[in-house]
């Protein structure tokens, strides 16, 4: 059958696919628009499968906060190359996904990928379709969803790092400025946990072994290695757990002390940091 320019344009408007891809899909589907859409989806699946092992270190990180700032969501939509991260269709899809996350309150990335968008197709389906159109791997690399009395967000200037900080016992205090300062510290210092008790056992064991090995290389007696390693672990906690870190803007204060100075009892219940770099 004859495929008209109007048919091709209609499918292009429906899917955003290129004109030649639309013509090819319609031809293969013998003019059936639903079948043509399936052809385009399968093309995306083929590209996704072929490029499944490719690294995705480019992309964009976006944030959405509820009106009362009691909930925050972060997404990272990732791709393989910087030029694709600047393509309008890529950024438009990222915006649609963060808007869907804000509206749906999907608890996990798996749930968010299954959420339907305006045309009834899932978030995952749209990502696969865009993969086919652009020709490189695109993935929802990260998704975070947290709630607290107050949530403060920060997106680094390159739009590749995002942070959410959850505050409790705010008692009406304005935590926007201190929240931004702490979020920027999290961006730069990459704490592994909120406090000592949040550091996993594997990390603790690894740090103790590193401490022992360093002491051994320094010629310390074997009987002293454990005590020396425990001392080094305390230093690790001070450097790598948020509440125990020195505040970068005033090294005389830890983050815990900074919070207490701002508002007695003010605390952070959690933080999330996602990065494409």
pLDDT value of residue 49 = 63
Query: Is residue 111 assigned to a domain?
Result: yes
Q: Is the pLDDT of residue 200 over 90?
A: yes
Residue 120 is predicted with a pLDDT of 86
As a whole number, the mean pLDDT across the chain is 91
The answer on 134 and 105 residing in a single domain is yes
Q: What is the pLDDT of residue 176?
A: 96
Residues 40 and 87 in one domain: no
User: Domain containing 93 — which CATH number?
Assistant: 3.30.479.20
Tens digits of residue pLDDT in 31-53: 888 888 778 777 766 666 667 67
Q: Among residues 126, 147, 168, which one ends one of the domains?
A: 147
Q: Is the predicted pLDDT of residue 268 greater than 80, yes or no?
A: yes
End position of a domain, from candidates 97, 115, 147: 147
Work out the pLDDT band at 75, boundaries 50, 70, 90. Answer: very high
> Helix 33-50 vs helix 123-134: angle between axes, to the nearest 10 degrees?
80
| 12-24 mean pLDDT | 74
Give per-residue pLDDT as tens, 112-151: 999 999 888 899 988 988 888 888 889 999 999 999 999 9
Asked, for residue 267, whether it belongs to a domain, the answer is no
What is the mean predicted confidence (pLDDT) over 65-70? 97
Domain annotation covers residue 237: no
Count other C-beta atoms under 10 Å from residue 72's C-beta. 25
Q: How far apart are the C-alpha atoms of 183 and 110, rounded to whole Å?
A: 26
Determine, yes or no, domain membership for 236. no
Average pLDDT over residues 212-229: 87
Number of domains in the chain: 2
> Is the domain of 88 the same as that of 105?
yes
Residues 41 and 92 in one domain: no
Residues 40 and 121 in one domain: no
Q: Domain holding 26: CATH number?
A: 1.10.8.10
| Residue 77 forms part of a structural domain | yes
Crossing angle of helices 33-50 and 5-15, rounded to 10°: 50
Distance, CA of 14 to CA of 35 (rounded, Å): 13
- Which residue segment(s) compose the domain that 44 sits in? 5-50
C-alpha angle with apex 105: 103 to 110, nearest 5 degrees?
Answer: 115
pLDDT band at 166 (very low <50, low <70, confident <90, very high): very high
Task: Examine the domain organization and report whether 24 and 71 are in the same domain.
Answer: no
pLDDT > 90? residue 2: no
DSSP 208: H
174 occurs within a structural domain = no
Please give the backbone phi and psi of residue 247, each rounded to the nearest 5 degrees, phi first: -70, 125
Global pTM reads 0.80
Strand residues in the chain grouped as ranges (E): 58-65, 71-79, 138-147, 150-155, 161-168, 246-247, 250-254, 267-275
Lowest mean pLDDT among 42-51, 60-69, 171-180, 225-234: 42-51
Q: In terms of domains, do 80 and 32 share one?
A: no
Instruction: Say yes or no: 85 and 143 in one domain.
Output: yes
| Boundary residue ending a domain (112, 147, 182) | 147
Tell me: do 71 and 134 sit in the same domain: yes
Q: Which two tokens stand for residue 272?
A: 């999330």
Predicted local distance difference test score (pLDDT) of residue 45: 65
Look at residue 129 and tell me if it is in a domain. yes
Each residue's pLDDT tens digit, 80-95 = 999 999 999 999 999 9
**Is 10 inside a domain boundary?**
yes
């Amino acid at each position: 059958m004859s495929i008209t320019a109007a048919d091709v344009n209609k499918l292009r408007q429906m899917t955003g696919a290129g004109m030649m891809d639309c013509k090819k899909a319609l031809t293969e589907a013998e003019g059936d628009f639903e079948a043509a859409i399936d052809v385009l989806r399968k093309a995306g699946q083929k590209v996704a499968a072929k490029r499944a092992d490719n690294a995705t270190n480019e992309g964009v990180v976006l944030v959405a906060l509820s009106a009362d700032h009691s909930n925050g969501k972060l997404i990272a939509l990732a791709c393989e190359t910087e030029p694709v991260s600047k393509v309008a269709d890529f950024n438009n899809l990222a915006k649609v996904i963060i808007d869907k996350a804000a509206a749906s309150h999907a608890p996990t990335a798996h749930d968010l990928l299954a959420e339907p968008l305006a045309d009834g197709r899932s978030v995952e389906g749209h990502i696969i379709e865009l993969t086919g159109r652009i020709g490189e791997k695109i993935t929802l690399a990260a998704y975070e969803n947290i709630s607290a009395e107050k949530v403060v967000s920060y997106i680094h200037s390159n739009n590749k790092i995002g942070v959410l900080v959850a505050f409790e016992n705010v008692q009406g205090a304005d935590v926007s400025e201190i929240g931004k300062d702490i979020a920027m510290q999290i961006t730069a210092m990459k704490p592994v946990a909120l406090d000592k008790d949040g550091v996993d056992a594997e990390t603790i064991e690894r740090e103790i072994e590193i401490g022992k090995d360093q002491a051994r290389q320094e010629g310390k007696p074997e009987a002293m290695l454990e005590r020396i390693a425990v001392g080094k672990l305390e230093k690790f906690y001070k450097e790598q757990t948020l509440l125990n870190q020195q505040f970068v803007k005033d090294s005389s204060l830890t983050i815990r002390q900074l919070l207490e100075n701002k508002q007695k009892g003010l605390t952070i219940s959690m933080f999330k940091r996602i990065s494409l770099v």
